[in-house]
Structure 1
Amino acid sequence: MKRFLYGIDFGTTNSALAIYDEESKEIRSTIIIPSLIYFYHQPNTENAQNYVVGEEAITAYLNDDMKGRFIKSVKQILSRSSFTETRIHNKKYNASDLVAIILKELKTRADLFIGQDCRKAVIGRPVFFDDDNVQKDTLAQTRLSKAAEIAGFVDVRYQFEPIGAAFAYEKTLAKKENVLVADLGGGTTDFTYLVLDPEKVGSRERKNDMMANGGIYVGGDSFDSAFMWDKGTPYFGKHTQYEATPGKVLTVPKSLFANICSWEQMNFFNGLRIKKDIEDYYFFSGKNPQFKNLITLIEHNLGYSVFQSIEKTKITLTNADSSMFSYHKMDIKIEEEISLGVYEEVIAKDVARIANYLDEFMLQNSIDPENIDSLFLTGGTSMMGSIQKLFKNRFPHVNLNSGDNFKSVAKGLAYSGYLFED
């Protein structure tokens, strides 16, 4: 029986698994799925598994008239101590249970490809799950380890995601280089500064090559939330006014709209009291049609489909000067042209946070820009124009390189088999 190792990049937006043949020392295949889970509205009594994962989750969500539970960005709850569990169809799911569903789906597909049960894996993790917070980081790592166990992995090691990306890049080099790696995903932005040497590929001892690691809890989801707040929420009544008492006009609390800027906050609307408050605001606003859009969004679980439109707008703007923010479902109608300049203004604060952290990272680790031979950017968010400009402006003398933004980390993790040579 052949020996295999899986390199797993469990991501906020997408997750990937690279199948590494330990005998031929080659990547046999790489599997990518969206990090999505959909629990059907009506449980299937004949089948214990009442959910689907990945691409099928989107299809099922739409075919089920968006009435079930749609879960995205599950990676972000790993470090949230406030999240203990959620109940779906009278069954409790904690953070590890939800993550395990995605890891198990990847494992099942990979096992089918190789024709055997592989229980050995190197799983990636961000440098910091939630900024530089040791307690939250420990909680997230514990939950991720439990998820791997539930998914069926027995022999597991963990590697920082940007190091995984670096090892994938190392395979392409002709000579030794000092490399700054930036891994910009959906949830986090991570940096690693290290020495890469094509002659050391697969070597056991690499600790001395790792010169600095760091990360910040800002990523593509942050950009989407900022866009929703700035450009989306006005269509859902953010500026709605209502008559609290005769002659006293107030504006609906903005806290309502903060809770539609990320999927984790959507449960905020489940309480009876908040639902009644929303109905009162609608009535006392004279039944404002835009505020009615908020009620439609909540009642029909349309959050993910709105963020699909935001994502489409963002992706278009990676290669175009303008894009249409377009959304038409039920009575909600959005059709607004967004220029690249306007989009860059919307995400400017988050890009500035990344830039400031990068400066701090360089300073704290005494990294001289002149000593950097090359930059390697990976992750879907790295394709954004503002991010490209950031690195080109900071390091005008350094070559900017990128690999497969969705496979690089998983492949590099699969090349990290040396971690098992304790």
Structure 2
Amino acid sequence: MSSAASAAGTRDLVLGIDFGTSNSAAALIDAQGMLQIVPLDGARSEMPTAVFFNQETHSVQYGSEAMQAYLSGTEGRLLRALKSLLGSSLMDEYTAVGERSLRYFDIVVLFFKELKRRSEVHAGQVLTHAMLGRPVHFVDDNPERDALAQETLGRAAREAGFTHIAYQLEPIAAALDYEQRVEAETVALVVDIGGGTSDFTTIRLNPARSQLPDRTGDILATTGVHIGGTDFDRLLDLSTVMPHLGYRHIGKGNRPVPNSVFFDLSTWHLIHQAYTRKAMHFAKELWTDFTDQTLHQRLMTALEGQYGHRLLAEVEAAKIACSITGADAAVQLDFLDDHSAPSVTAEGMEQALQDTVAQVVRCAQDCVAQAGLAQVDVVYLTGGSSALRPLVAALQAAMPQATLVSGNLFGGVAAGLAYAGSVLTD
């Protein structure tokens, strides 16, 4: 506790920050000990992790406002999935945004500053303490890059104005949130499926121990894999939409069209690579490989209009709709032409994601096995991608004895980070 806070007889408020690949959230425990999920995006707690450099107004927009500006055709540059760059050399590279160039790191700092500003408006005071969530592994099987990713995350938060920073694993934070609703000791597998990573913890929960500052003895195992919602989006985009632009098209000489441009267009943090002068020239020259020129024309329309993010956003929306209802969900492509009408279907989604979902489930099972257990009482689902229908079905099949509980998909981790932070300052 700072001396100023001590003199006033209060404690510093700690902002729990869940900086996500697709969405971010924040929460705090107020002076009365009550949890407050910060409404970061209008009335919504989840704020798309998106930054839009508006060339028409020469302003920077964030969250859903950034997405709406981009999707409405406003001239500018959209950046998403910035968390995916943590731990990579790309973070220190410069990228063109309008008439200037910024490091990707500087753009992360801008996002943190805006998140901090919105949180301070809600709290009615300056916030200097932050509990940052982090995945079990930012980078799989590379401890050096993983450590660099955490250091970069903390450095961005400091440059945004936070002076006191601590870290907690995201699945443990989610467990601490769930513990607030547990009435008796429970062994739970927490499944946190975010935009970029899937993280798990097997943990012993007990409301009688919820205020202890050190819960190390209750954490039985943690595992994680670098697979998340953006990977599901990429696979669905490749299987559903990209064939309408020429992906897997067998062209002249009975050869498939080169696929690098389709992979770039289907990967949130690589889309900008498809718009470089070199990439555009390469794509234009591909016309000689196509026997169906309609496909090539759609590809060029997508590239020249810089519609990559819009395509993925439409796929993401269809994925969510199909997961909720189980019914076919159309992917709106009328901005390309009037003839493309693909749909995400339950069967197609299960088929496209089968291998990737199996990897996630194996990681979940490993977390239980590493805890020395054959089963758990509860599987607690959190994270924006944890409602994915094929994933829920696969987890239920893998752990039939456990009760599946759905938590706060977007605010649960932030809430747990706030609880963890409040214990540190008590």
Q: 1:92 to 1:141 in 2, by over 3 A?
A: farther
User: How big is the shift at 1:411?
Assistant: 0.5
Residue in structure 2 matched with residue 36 of structure 1 by the alignment: 50
Q: Secondary structure at the match of 1:164?
A: helix
Of 319, 328, 344 in structure 2, the residue corresponding to residue 322 of structure 1 is 328
In structure 1, distance between residues paired with 2:204 and 2:332: 45
In structure 1, distance between residues paired with 2:214 and 2:259: 53
Of 374, 378, 387 in structure 2, the residue corresponding to residue 374 of structure 1 is 378
In structure 1, distance between residues paired with 2:318 and 2:409: 19
Greater strand percent: which structure?
1
Q: Is the 8 A contact 1:187 1:221 kept in 2?
A: yes
Q: Secondary structure at the match of 1:166?
A: helix
In structure 2, distance between residues paired with 1:239 and 1:204: 54
What one-letter code is carried by the residue in structure 1 that aligns with 2:157? A
In structure 2, distance between residues paired with 1:272 and 1:339: 36
- Aligned residues: percent identity? 29
Q: Is the 8 A contact 1:15 1:34 kept in 2?
A: yes
User: How big is the shift at 1:166?
Assistant: 0.4
- Structure 2, unaligned stretches of length 5 or more? 1-7, 40-44
Q: 1:141 to 1:91 in 2, by over 3 A?
A: farther
User: How big is the shift at 1:100?
Assistant: 2.0
Q: Is the 8 A contact 2:21 2:82 kept in 1?
A: yes
Residue in structure 1 matched with residue 139 of structure 2 by the alignment: 130
Q: Is the 8 A contact 2:275 2:303 kept in 1?
A: no
Q: 1:83 to 1:5 in 2, by over 3 A?
A: closer
Q: 1:57 to 1:418 in 2, by over 3 A?
A: closer
Residue in structure 2 matched with residue 265 of structure 1 by the alignment: 270
Of 178, 181, 189 in structure 2, the residue corresponding to residue 169 of structure 1 is 178
User: How big is the shift at 1:115?
Assistant: 1.8
2:306 is equivalent to residue 298 of structure 1: no
Of 352, 357, 362 in structure 1, the residue corresponding to residue 358 of structure 2 is 352
TM-score, with length taken from structure 1: 0.90
Q: Is the 8 A contact 1:204 1:421 kept in 2?
A: no
Please, what is the CA RMSD of the aligned residues? 2.2
**Deviations for 1:163-206, whole angstroms, at most 9, x for unmatched residues?**
11001100001111111111011110000111111011221121
In structure 1, distance between residues paired with 2:268 and 2:318: 18
In structure 2, distance between residues paired with 1:389 and 1:253: 35
Residue in structure 1 matched with residue 212 of structure 2 by the alignment: 203
What one-letter code is carried by the residue in structure 2 that aligns with 1:154? T
**Deviations for 1:75-97, whole angstroms, at most 9, x for unmatched residues?**
11112224432232354433432
Q: Is the 8 A contact 2:221 2:368 kept in 1?
A: no
Q: 1:242 to 1:343 in 2, by over 3 A?
A: closer
In structure 2, distance between residues paired with 1:144 and 1:7: 14
**Deviations for 1:92-120, whole angstroms, at most 9, x for unmatched residues?**
43343222222222211111122211111
Residue in structure 1 matched with residue 33 of structure 2 by the alignment: 25
Q: Is the 8 A contact 2:298 2:336 kept in 1?
A: no
2:317 is equivalent to residue 308 of structure 1: no
Number of corresponding residues? 409
Q: 1:415 to 1:297 in 2, by over 3 A?
A: same
In structure 2, distance between residues paired with 1:240 and 1:205: 56
Residue in structure 1 matched with residue 259 of structure 2 by the alignment: 254
In structure 2, distance between residues paired with 1:40 and 1:73: 18
User: How big is the shift at 1:41?
Assistant: 2.5
In structure 2, distance between residues paired with 1:128 and 1:162: 11
Q: Is the 8 A contact 2:191 2:364 kept in 1?
A: no
In structure 2, distance between residues paired with 1:360 and 1:29: 32
Q: Is the 8 A contact 2:202 2:221 kept in 1?
A: yes
What one-letter code is carried by the residue in structure 2 that aligns with 1:295? M
Q: 1:4 to 1:129 in 2, by over 3 A?
A: same
2:287 is equivalent to residue 279 of structure 1: no
In structure 2, distance between residues paired with 1:146 and 1:333: 48
Residue in structure 2 matched with residue 76 of structure 1 by the alignment: 84
In structure 1, distance between residues paired with 2:205 and 2:256: 56
